Amino acid sequence: MERKFFRYLPEYNAFGIADEEVKDLFCLELDADAYARLGVSVPDEEAPKIAFLSGREEGHYTIDFSYAYAIAQTGARIILLDYAHYVHQLHGCHGLVLPGGAFASPKQYYVEEMNKSLLPEPGARSWAYVQSYHWALMFGIPVLGICAGAQIIAGECGGLLYPNESFLSGTILHKTKEMQAHEINIVPGSFLHKLLRVLRLVVNSRHKETLAEMSPVSGFEIYAQAPDGVPEAWGSRADHILCVQWHPEDYVVAGDKRHARIYEWLTDEAVAFQRSCI
């Protein structure tokens, strides 16, 4: 598969490529300058490959600097997925990140109390998330879901979403630009507790939609909740899936070693998957 490269876009503090450059199938990667900006060497061909479902910025597929930094610091090679060729691009990858983003989700995810006819129709980005997740699940590829990516995974497993904070009875703001938005309580003895080694953590929070407080998510354990009962992390050790509602990559850029363990977990899982394929 021919390669094309994401280049640094200073106006967005992201790496990206214009839509017209990827109308056909290509292997999308970061160029050497991108890895240099991230402070790491270009990974060799034997490094585990982490697929990242690209974001969007005005006619470009993108990966924000913070996401790229958090993944690259683990030694993994970053493979970018567009919304038309993601199944082929995911082939040969060993891990998958479904990141945050603002886009319409499938209507069946939402609670019955709302008028779903008012919701926008999901587009190509939403279906790329859904189908990338199912392809990864089918082949046993470990998955990290962040914010909207976490909600897509929950919705595909029977979880129900509130469309906005008006459905919540608490006073916690879940959509804010603050880096220290609110505390989360981690379930003692849970996988997240063992990974982060704390029971309480202050996190950022940029999601308008939330997983309903008592929503069952088939096959998943709830790992953490906000004080108002909103689930903040869930996952499945058996399926190698971890979902968090906050943005640990922002803390990784700031040098936070604890949040870096979330991305290190994904690369460790990717290495194990890579070895299992030999």
Q: What is the pLDDT of residues 172-220, one digit of tens each?
A: 778 888 899 899 999 999 999 999 999 999 999 998 888 887 677 889 9
pLDDT for res 118: 81
Joined together, the tokens standing for residue 258 give: 């604890």
List the CATH code of the domain at 3-276.
Answer: 3.40.50.880
Q: pTM for the whole thing?
A: 0.96
Please state whether beta strands 27-30 and 3-9 pair in parallel, antiparallel, or not at all (unpaired).
Answer: parallel
Three-class DSSP category at 13: coil
Q: CB of 34 within 8 A of CB of 68?
A: yes
Q: Domain boundaries in the chain?
A: 3-276
In angstroms, rounded to a whole number, what is the distance separating the alpha carbons of residues 275 and 143? 17
- Chain-centroid distance of CA 32 in Å reads 24
**pLDDT score, position 240:** 97
Pairing relationship of beta strands 221-225 and 231-236 according to DSSP bridges: antiparallel
> Which pLDDT belongs to residue 214?
67
Specify the amino acid at residue 166: S
Residue-wise pLDDT tens digits, 129-162: 999 999 999 999 999 999 999 999 999 999 998 8
Q: Over 90: is that where the pLDDT of 112 sits?
A: no
Residue 213's pLDDT is: 73
Give the Cα separation of 96 and 108 in Å (integer): 24
Contact (Cβ atoms closer than 8 angstroms) between residue 124 and residue 132 = no
- Select the more confidently predicted residue: 241 or 177: 241
**pLDDT for 217:** 83
pLDDT of residue 166: 66
